[in-house]
C-alpha cells in the first residue's frame, strides 16, 4: 500500500481548506425551502386519517386510507426518481406539485361528499402516487453537487455530514408534521390540514423545483439525459442489501409507534404515546447530526453494525418494560441507534448509486422506509388488537433484527465485493 508524501499530504490539506462549503455552493435559501417543502408529506398520512375519522366516523377506513397513501408512494416513488434522473428534477417536481395539491383537495371533497369507500381509497392512493419526493431528491442534488463541485479530499466528510443533516431534517419534520395537523384540525376544522398541505405543496415544492440547484444534473448524464450505467446495476446485491436494511428501519418506526400507542392505551393515556415517542425522536435526530464528527477510521460498515446493534439491544428491553418510565429508558437507548443507522444506510446508498441514477436510488431508499412503516404499522395494529400489547411489542425487536442482519450481510459484501463505480468518491 502506497502512502502520500508529506508534500502530497500538504496539498490535500490545502485543497480541503480552500474548498467552498456545501452551504456556500447550494445557498442558505435552498436548505430553508427544502426543509419546508418536506412538511406536506409529513402531514399527509395523519391528515388523511383525521379527515376520514372525523367525516366518516370509521377508524378502520381511516387506517386503510393511510395505508393507501403509503402504498401509492411505494409504488410510484422509485419511478418518479427515475423520471427525475432522466428528464431533470425541475420538470418532474413542477408537475407533481400541481398534481399532488389537486389530489389533496380532491380527496377532501370526496370524503365529505359521501362517496363510496373505494373512491376514498383510490383518491388516497393518488395522494401517495403524486407525492413529491423532496427528501430523496434533495439528497440526490446535494450528492451531485458534492461530486461535481467539491475536491475529492473533502467529499467523504461532506457527504457524511450532508446525510446526517438530511436524516435529522426528516425526523424533525415527521415530529412537527403531525403536531401541525393537530393544531390546524383543532383550531379550524378537520379538513384544514389537508388544504394547508396542498398550499404548502404548490408554493414550497414549486419553489424547490424552480431553485437553481434543480439544474445540477450529474456530469455523468449525456446531453439527452441518458445514464451510462445499466438499469440492472440498481439490483446489485450491494445496493439491495441497503434497501433491505432501510426497510427494517421503516418497519421499526411503524411497529414501535403502533405498539407504543397500544402500551399507553392499556394505561388509559393513548394520547401520551406521541410524547414518549418524541424521546426517541429527539435523541435520534441529535445523534444523527453527530455522525458527521465520527472519525474516518470508524468505517461505514462498522457504524451500521454498531448502531443497529444498539437499536436491537434497546428493543430487547421491550420484553421487560412494564412502566412508562422504563419505556422511556428503552426508547432513549433505541434513539441512540436508530438515527446513525439511518444516516449510514443513506451514505451507503450515495456511495453505491450507479452513475447518473442517484435520484432513483434515493427514492428507492425513501420508499423502503415508507413501505416498512406502513407494513409495520398495519401488522402491529392487527397483532395488538388480536393478541395484545405484549405480542405487539415483539415486532420492533424483529424489525431491529432485520436492520442488524442486513448490516451483517453488508459487512461481508463490503469486505469481499469489488467496489462499484459511484457518483462520488466511495465513502465505504
Do residue 201 and residue 66 come from a single domain?
yes
In a domain, 18, yes or no: no
Distance CA 349, CA 346 (A): 5
Q: What is the pLDDT of residues 188-218, one digit of tens each?
A: 888 888 999 999 999 999 999 998 877 755 5
Is pLDDT above 90 for 298?
no
Note down the domain range covering 213.
26-221
As a whole number, mean pLDDT of residues 310-327 equals: 94
**Residue 3 covered by a domain:** no
Q: What is the DSSP letter of 201?
A: I
212 contact partners, CB below 8 Å, separation of at least 6: none
> What separation, in Å, do the N-terminal and C-terminal C-alpha atoms of the chain show?
17
Closest Cα partner for 94 from 83, 78, 105? 83
| 319, 180: one domain | no
Residue 275, C-alpha cell as written in the block = 410524547
Task: Tell me which of 221, 237, 259 is where a domain ends.
Answer: 221
Q: What's the CA gap between 221 and 151, in Å, rounded?
A: 20
pLDDT tens-digit profile of 361-384?
Answer: 888 888 888 788 878 877 887 888
Q: Name the nearest CA neighbour of 127 among 153, 104, 149, 158.
A: 104
Residue 5 confidence (pLDDT): 53
Position 107 pLDDT exceeds 90: yes
DSSP 411: H
The CATH number of the domain where 122 resides is what? 1.20.1250.20
Mean pLDDT score of the chain: 80
**Sign of the four-CA dihedral 402, 403, 404, 410:** positive
Query: Who's near 193: CB < 8 A, 6+ residues apart?
Result: 43, 46, 47, 50, 51, 180, 181, 184, 185
Please tell me what DSSP assigns to residue 188: T
Do the beta carbons of residue 105 and residue 316 sit within 8 Å? no
| Interval 217-240: pLDDT, tens | 555 555 444 555 556 677 788 889
CA 325/CA 331 separation, integer angstroms: 10
Query: Is residue 238 located within the same domain as residue 147?
Result: no
316 within some domain: yes
pLDDT of residue 262: 83
Over pLDDT 90: what percentage of the chain? 27
Same domain, residue pair 115 and 200: yes
Among 221, 251, 270, identify where a domain stops.
221
**pLDDT of 427:** 38
pLDDT tens for 331-349 read: 999 989 988 898 889 888 8
253 in the same domain as 149:
no
Residue 15 pLDDT exceeds 60: no
Q: At 388, list the grid cell.
A: 395484545
* Whether 174 and 316 share a structural domain: no
Which residue, among 294, 300, 306, 43, has the nearest Cα to 181 in the 3D structure? 43
Tens-place pLDDT, residues 135-174 = 888 888 888 888 777 777 777 778 777 877 887 787 777 7
The set of residues, in sequence order, having a beta carbon less than 8 Å from that of 166 and lying 6+ positions away, is 135, 138, 139, 142, 346
Please tell me whether residues 261 and 352 are part of one structural domain: yes
The pLDDT value given to residue 178: 65
Within this chain, do residues 233 and 96 fall inside the same structural domain, yes or no?
A: no
Amino acid at each position: 500500500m502506497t502512502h502520500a508524501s508529506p508534500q502530497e499530504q500538504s496539498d490535500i490539506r490545502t485543497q480541503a481548506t480552500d474548498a467552498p462549503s456545501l452551504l456556500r455552493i447550494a445557498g442558505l435559501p435552498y436548505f430553508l425551502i427544502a426543509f419546508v417543502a418536506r412538511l406536506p408529506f409529513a402531514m399527509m398520512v395523519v391528515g388523511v386519517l383525521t379527515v376520514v375519522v372525523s367525516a366518516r366516523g370509521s377508524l378502520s377506513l381511516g387506517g386503510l386510507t393511510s395505508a393507501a397513501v403509503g402504498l401509492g408512494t411505494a409504488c410510484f416513488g422509485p419511478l418518479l426518481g427515475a423520471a427525475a434522473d432522466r428528464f431533470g428534477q425541475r420538470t418532474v417536481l413542477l408537475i407533481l406539485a400541481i398534481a399532488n395539491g389537486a389530489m389533496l383537495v380532491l380527496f377532501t371533497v370526496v370524503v365529505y361528499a359521501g362517496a363510496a369507500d373505494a373512491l376514498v381509497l383510490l383518491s388516497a392512493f393518488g395522494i401517495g402516487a403524486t407525492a413529491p419526493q423532496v427528501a430523496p431528491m434533495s439528497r440526490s442534488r446535494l450528492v451531485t453537487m458534492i461530486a461535481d463541485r467539491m475536491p475529492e479530499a473533502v467529499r467523504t466528510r461532506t457527504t457524511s455530514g450532508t446525510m446526517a443533516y438530511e436524516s435529522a431534517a426528516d425526523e424533525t419534520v415527521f415530529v412537527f408534521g403531525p403536531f401541525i395537523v393537530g393544531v390546524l384540525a383543532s383550531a379550524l376544522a378537520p379538513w384544514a390540514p389537508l388544504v394547508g398541505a396542498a398550499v404548502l405543496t404548490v408554493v414550497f415544492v414549486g419553489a424547490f423545483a424552480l431553485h437553481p440547484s434543480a439544474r445540477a444534473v450529474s456530469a455523468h448524464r449525456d446531453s439527452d439525459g441518458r445514464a451510462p450505467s445499466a438499469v440492472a446495476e440498481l439490483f446489485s446485491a450491494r445496493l439491495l442489501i441497503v434497501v433491505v436494511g432501510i426497510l427494517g428501519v421503516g418497519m421499526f418506526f411503524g411497529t414501535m409507534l403502533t405498539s407504543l400507542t397500544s402500551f399507553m392505551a392499556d394505561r388509559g393515556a393513548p394520547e401520551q404515546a406521541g410524547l414518549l415517542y418524541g424521546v426517541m425522536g429527539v435523541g435520534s435526530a441529535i445523534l444523527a447530526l453527530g455522525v458527521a464528527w465520527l472519525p474516518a477510521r470508524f468505517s461505514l460498515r462498522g457504524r451500521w453494525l454498531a448502531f443497529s446493534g444498539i437499536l436491537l439491544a434497546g428493543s430487547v428491553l421491550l420484553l421487560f418494560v412494564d412502566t412508562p418510565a422504563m419505556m422511556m429508558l428503552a426508547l432513549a437507548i433505541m434513539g441512540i441507534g436508530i438515527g446513525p443507522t439511518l444516516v449510514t444506510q443513506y451514505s451507503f446508498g450515495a456511495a453505491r448509486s450507479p452513475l447518473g441514477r442517484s435520484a432513483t436510488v434515493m427514492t428507492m431508499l425513501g420508499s423502503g422506509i415508507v413501505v416498512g412503516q406502513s407494513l409495520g404499522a398495519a401488522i402491529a395494529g392487527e397483532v395488538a388488537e388480536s393478541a395484545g400489547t405484549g405480542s405487539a411489542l415483539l415486532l420492533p425487536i424483529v424489525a431491529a433484527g432485520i436492520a442488524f442482519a442486513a448490516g451483517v450481510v453488508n459487512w461481508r459484501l463490503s469486505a469481499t465485493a469489488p467496489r462499484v463505480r459511484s457518483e462520488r468518491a466511495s465513502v465505504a
